[in-house]
Amino acid sequence: MKIGIVVFPGTNRERDMVIAFERVTGFTPQIIWHRETALPQLDMVVLPGGFSYGDYLRCGAMAAHSPIMREIQAFAQKGGYIMGVCNGFQILTEANLLPGALLPNASLRFLSRDCHLRIERNDTAFTQGWKQGDIFRTATAHGDGNYFCDAEGLKRLEGEGQVVFRYASPNGEIDPSNSDFNPNGSINAIAGIVDQTGRICGMMPHPEDMVDPLMGSEDGKPLFQGIMETLTR
């Protein structure tokens, strides 16, 4: 399994991602510097969290228009898998690889706390480690995670089953209007989506920080197990 983690200036959660892949799958991802002009042979590209270009302008905007993204677009065209977490999700929407946009949190404040996600479908590489309806705890840490898309886009997303992770209460109830459970105010409590092919996934929370009991939980492990099962099959 060949995973490439792309590092832009200001990316800062790449190390967390490396640790998670190593710990859960035993595979060591390679780091790809944003100035590289060609991608190596890869099964999956990961865009990790952070503040690419300081998140100045809009989160992820400048990274989305940097040269390496052309390669990543081509990689997507050829059927490659892509996962964007937090800033990576923002980059994927800014690059139009995923629909919608991430607006400032409804509270207008950065939020770093644990939340619960419900698995909406488990037939993707990213969710097959769970059962549909499973609830898991994960960390969040972002200022702009408030998922938005217009009414038509939302209908399409929901209709096609592209929502894979939703913010939920610890018991699995979904209540988009409750800020305890839907911390950033996302529309329909959407926390993560896939594109129409199911091979490109973006999510705001950080399962990669939840793979070690010492750090409080191993709830994030199934993400990486699922990816490994798909990519080593």
The set of catalytic residues is: 86, 206, 208
Pick out residues in 67-86 that bind other proteins (CB under 8 A).
Answer: 67
Taking CB under 8 A as the criterion, the residue among 69, 82, 115, 139 binding other proteins is 139
Q: Is 65 an interacting residue with respect to other proteins (CB under 8 A)?
A: yes
Q: How far is the CB of 36 from other proteins (least distance, A)?
A: 12
Comparing CB distances to other proteins, the nearer of 1 and 111 is 111
In the complex with other proteins, the residue whose CB is nearer, 35 or 131, is: 35
Single-letter code of the amino acid located at 50: G
**How many chain residues interact with other proteins (CB under 8 A)?**
52
Nearest to 20 by CA among 166, 129, 180, 132: 129
d(CA 117, CA 31): 28
Of 1, 31, 135, 141, which lies in the binding site for other proteins, with binding defined by CB under 8 A? 141
Which residue type does 2 have? K
- Contacting range for other proteins; rule: CB under 8 A; set: 76-84, 107-115, 119-127, 169-177: 107-115
Are 15 and 41 within 8 A, CB to CB? no
Question: What's the Rg (C-alpha) of the chain?
Answer: 16
Tell whether residue 54 is a contact of other proteins (CB under 8 A).
yes
Q: Report the candidate in 159, 181, 182 with the shortest Cα–Cα distance to residue 170.
A: 181
Measured CA distances, 187 to 29, 118, 190 (Å): 33, 15, 6
Residue 109 engages other proteins in binding (rule: CB under 8 A): yes
Among 1, 9, 39, 218, binds other proteins (CB under 8 A): 9
Residue with tokens 């780091």: 31
Cross-strand partners of 119:
165
CB 3 within 8 A of CB 42: yes
**Which residues contact other proteins (rule: CB under 8 A)?**
9-10, 12-13, 15-16, 19-20, 35, 49-51, 53-58, 61-62, 65-67, 93-94, 99-101, 103-104, 106, 108-113, 139, 141, 143, 146, 148-150, 185, 206, 208-209, 212, 214-216
